[in-house]
Structure 1
Amino acid sequence: MDAATARWLVGPEAADELAGVAAEADPSSLGAAERLRRRLPPERAAAVTAQVALRRRARTKFGERADRLFFTPDGLEQATRPRVAAWRADRLRSTGVARVVDLGCGIGADALACLDAGLQVEAIEADEVTAILAGANLGIEVTVGDAVALLTPPDPATAVFCDPARRTASGRSWRVEDLSPPWSFVESLLAERIACVKLGPGAPHALIPDGVLATWVSDHGDLVELSLWSPEPEPGRSAVLLPGGVLLDTRQAAPPPAEIVRPEPGAVLYEPDPAVIRAGLVDLLAEHLDAGRLRPQLAYLLGADHRPTPFATAFEVLEVLDAGEKTLRAWVRREGIGTLEIKKRGVDIDPAVLRRRLKPKGPRSATVVLTPTLDGVRALAVRRLVGR
């Protein structure tokens, strides 16, 4: 899509066409496409059809609001979940700023959350077509150009938000030299301004500058991003769990490494949220739960009793079994297991392949956890406990 088509697409004439195609029982059918091409030039017809399809896909992420927004395929894929964007916008507002500059705004998902939070927004986007669509989404003029060149001098009432592009021709990349804007520019933002930088949750810890708060964000158990915040009077690492926004962080004395313990029936196995694991806060969680690790560097924790926590899923250990396939097949048969969930950590096993080989058949369901222990790899038959 070129810029002229994008400007038409966000205008009033296209609104009627978008509504008409969206009302079709099957907008992608040959009949719908043929009727549209009778009225519109090919490039406009294609843009309308593609936009209706993107809006339908976007409902999973944006709900009913998707039907009022404009998307590109990459913009939809890369857009922050609204719940996460709202959390970030609220945190930016809590710093006391009145205005946010969004460098590389994409389709405007993060800037939209800032507007919803009552912040003024300046949005900059390098791609003209994307900027036109973002402007329609935001109801403001989006500046087209190089974010590095267009950024104005620091202002104590203004925060800067930056989501460096992490894609190359071969896909996602964590090579510092592949990031855009350049990582040196991102570091200068964090050193000199009120800033938030969004990165993928798998960003190397070595990339994180000193003096910032590094926050790994989990949404309903999905690890979705790492955000870096500055300036921070108490820098460190934190895990935030949405939708509740509960926080676990290192801005206190670091606990000693957790004790290594053996699993026994009746004990409680804790599987920490991925944000806790990625933030390196498993030992801190173990201290809160009075729990130990099954093995050094292994994220599973084991406690004597159940202490409900939002930061981990809890299981009662029902039985400790040898992890050999023969033993497990006999256990599945003896217990009449027909539905079997297999979880694992620290072992090179494909749960789907193992499940087929165990041939579960019966009326009961069960969960088994395969994990290294002090006594070797074991299979723990477990039961989920309510209240996490």
Structure 2
Amino acid sequence: MDSKLDNFKWLSEPAAQQWLEKLSAVDGEVPMGMRKKMRDALGAERAVLVSQQVELRQRAKVKFEKGNDMLFTKRGLEQSTDEHIALYKSQQIPEQYRVADLCCGIGGDLISLSNCHSATGFDLDPVMCHAAAHNCGVHSVSATVRQLDVTADPNELGEFDFLHVDPDRRIETHRRTEVESYEPPLSIFEAMMERGVPMCIKIAPGALAPKHWVKNCKIEWIESRRECRQQILWFGDNAPAGSLVATEVGQTGMRWQVQGEMCEPESWTYSVNRFIYEPRPSVLAAGIAESVARQFNLDAIWPDVVYWTSEECLEAKWASVFEVEDVMPFDVATIRNCLAEKRVGRLEIKKRVAEVDPQQLRKELKLKGDESRVLLLAGFNQKVTAIIARRVETGP
């Protein structure tokens, strides 16, 4: 047996689990003294493996409630789907479908797919296969995991009603945005698309899907924890072809969803009204901000600056909303005096098309006080406008 795989499988055994449980309370790196004890007891290779697993489990807690019992590799954790997003996606697939999770990695999606469907995970890497099987066991779900090279025989997938495809997007430590360079190459699924096989393909948020795919699928950008995490291409009868959607998913499921089309503002106000709207990351990634803003009768302010404005406060969960207090040309002394009068000690600095170093600016502002504000910096026509505002809470 391959020594790498043998050692990784050992992590599921009681001898390794005892060490992992003993170190579960460690915050940060495993202490030097404990690492020496492990080397003496386990040998250098397995001691390193345990230390790495402890650190990966700490990072995994933000994605997985049971992260402290799961197994990870660095690449597998980085590319894994948050459990809340995984549950949301699995709920979009008809319950009666038999699902193949291709390139299942450590099983982030497979766990939720197996909760909602009859699901089988496939991966070329035997280490990932073992991690996925272990992690499904941690969550008490029944899932088969098989090692498979889908490029060799994609016809092996004929027994399934739906394909969930999560290709490797991190090669040689660089995140890939060109779908042609993914592994496995996504072109192998095109024949299935033409036959109408329902599927979803996860690609990087900034990747451009092939033009001949776009007209045949729904594209959804999914946001979680204030970042756009995934772009999903949905193919099948339940996916309106050509639609562009932005969605935020939280612990309790979908928080909001908007649909729009790619377009540019036809005019700008060149002035700021009482409220400013900054679209959330998934809306910006989808390129539908102007389209959605029109649905709310918002006005674009300046070219290339992704801020919209209105005189009334509208409930727009797809955007961060700010109530404007002061608008002025960018001048450090003027801004400092204004913030001092308001006794602002906590300041969030946001900038768009403005060549300003926020860290240096924060030092120069010499903040003192117990009030909080947001400083929006917007550049247009070689000038920077400073806007002092309060953040408006628009619900959970």
Q: TM-score normalised by the shorter chain: which range applies? A: 0.7 to 0.9
Which string of whole-angstrom CA distances, capped at 9 and with x for unpartnered residues, describes residues 111-165 of structure 1? 1111122x11111111112212222222444222312224336659621111121
Letter in 2 for 1:261: T
2:331 aligns with 324
Which residue of structure 2 aligns with residue 152 of structure 1? 155
Q: Which amino acid aligns with 1:105?
A: C
Alpha-carbon contact 1:368-1:379 (below 8 Å) kept: yes
In 2, the alpha carbon distance for the partners of 1:316 and 1:26 equals: 40
What is residue 112 of structure 1 aligned with on the other side? 111
Q: 2: distance between equivalents of 1:80 and 1:235? A: 25
Give 3-state SS (helix, strand or coil) of 1:227's partner.
strand
Equivalence for 1:126: 124
What residue identity is the alignment partner of 2:113?
C
Q: Distance in 2 between matches of 1:384 and 1:24?
A: 37
User: Shift of the alpha carbon at 1:374?
Assistant: 8.4
Q: Which residue of 1 aligns with 2:221?
A: 216
- Among 191, 198, 202, the residue aligned to 2:202: 198
1:18 is matched with which residue?
20
What is the 5 A alignment of 1:154-173? 158-169=161-172, 171-173=174-176
Measure the CA separation in 2 of the matches of 1:363 and 1:48: 45
2:292 is aligned, of 285, 289, 307, to 285
What is the correspondence of 1:29-68 to structure 2 with a 5 Å cutoff? 29-63=31-65, 65-68=66-69
| 2:365 matches 1:365 | no
1:181 equivalent in structure 2: 184
The letter for the 2-side match of 1:135 is A
Deviates more, 1:304-313 or 1:255-264: 255-264
Other structure's SS at 1:152 match: helix
Q: Higher mean Cα deviation, 98-107 or 350-359?
A: 350-359
Displacement of 1:281 after TM fit? 1.7
- Counterpart residue number, 2:233: 228
For residue 260 of structure 2, what is the aligned residue in structure 1?
Answer: 250
Listed one character per residue, the Cα deviations across residues 12-70 of structure 1 (whole Å, up to 9, x for unaligned) are 4433443344478998234433443444344334333332332233223212x113211
Query: How far has the Cα of 1:280 moved from its partner?
Result: 1.9
Alpha carbons of structure 1 residues 344 and 189: separation in structure 2 relative to 1, 3 Å: farther
Cα distance in 2 for residues equivalent to 1:27 and 1:329: 41
CA distance in structure 2 between the partners assigned to 1:25 and 1:278 by the alignment: 34
Distance 2:29 2:338 in 1: 52
Secondary structure at the counterpart of residue 271 of structure 2: coil
Supply the distance in 1 between the matched residues of 2:277 and 2:355 (Cα, whole angstroms): 20
Aligned length: 381
Shift of 1:372: 3.7
Question: Aligned partners of 2:385 and 2:25: how far apart in 1?
Answer: 56
- Kindly tell me: are residues 46 and 379 of structure 1, through their superposed partners in 2, closer, same or farther at Cα, counting changes over 3 Å? closer
Deviation string 1:53-102 (CA, Å, 9 cap, x unpaired) is: 32233223212x1132111121112211111111111112xx35422111
| Paired residues of 1:316 and 1:385 also in contact (CA < 8 A) | yes
Partner Cα separation in structure 2 for residue 25 and residue 216 of structure 1: 33
What is the RMSD of the two structures over their aligned residues, measured on CA atoms? 2.9
Q: CA deviation at 1:259?
A: 4.0
CA–CA distance in 2 between the matches of 1:318 and 1:11? 61
Structure 2 vs 1, CA of residues 147 and 335 (structure 1 numbering), >3 Å: closer, same or farther? same
Q: CA deviation at 1:310?
A: 1.1
Summarize the alignment of residues 2-13 of structure 1 with structure 2, pairs less than 5 Å apart: 2-13=4-15
Alignment CA distance shift 1:202-1:40 (3 Å): same
Structure 2 length normalisation: TM-score? 0.85
Which shows bigger deviation, 223-232 or 208-217? 208-217
* Higher alpha-carbon deviation: 101-110 or 325-334: 325-334
Q: Which residue of 2 aligns with 1:300?
A: 307
Segment drifting more, 288-297 vs 354-363: 354-363
Q: Distance in 2 between matches of 1:200 and 1:382?
A: 33
Is the 2:324–2:387 Cα contact (8 Å) retained in structure 1? yes
- The match for 2:140 is none
Superposed CA deviations along residues 230-262 of structure 1, whole A, max 9, x for unmatched, are: 0234431100111252221138xx888464124
CA distance in 2, matches of 1:157, 1:341: 49
- Structure 1 residues 168-225: Cα deviation after superposition (integer angstroms, max 9, x where no partner): 2251222344211113124445444211111111113666532110101111321111
Alpha-carbon displacement from aligned partner over 1:284-319 (angstroms, at most 9, x marks no partner): 222232210012343211011001121111111112
TM-score w.r.t. the length of structure 1 is 0.87
Alpha-carbon separation, structure 2, partners of 1:122 and 1:42: 35
Determine which of 356, 360, 370 is the counterpart of 2:363. Answer: 356
User: Partner of 1:314: helix, strand, or coil?
Assistant: strand
Inter-partner Cα distance in structure 2 for 1:333 and 1:295: 28
| Residue 189 to residue 273, structure 1, CA distance change in 2 (3 Å) | farther
Aligned to 1:82: 83
SS of residue matched to 1:344: strand
1:385 alignment partner in structure 2: 392
Change (3 A) 1:309 1:23: closer
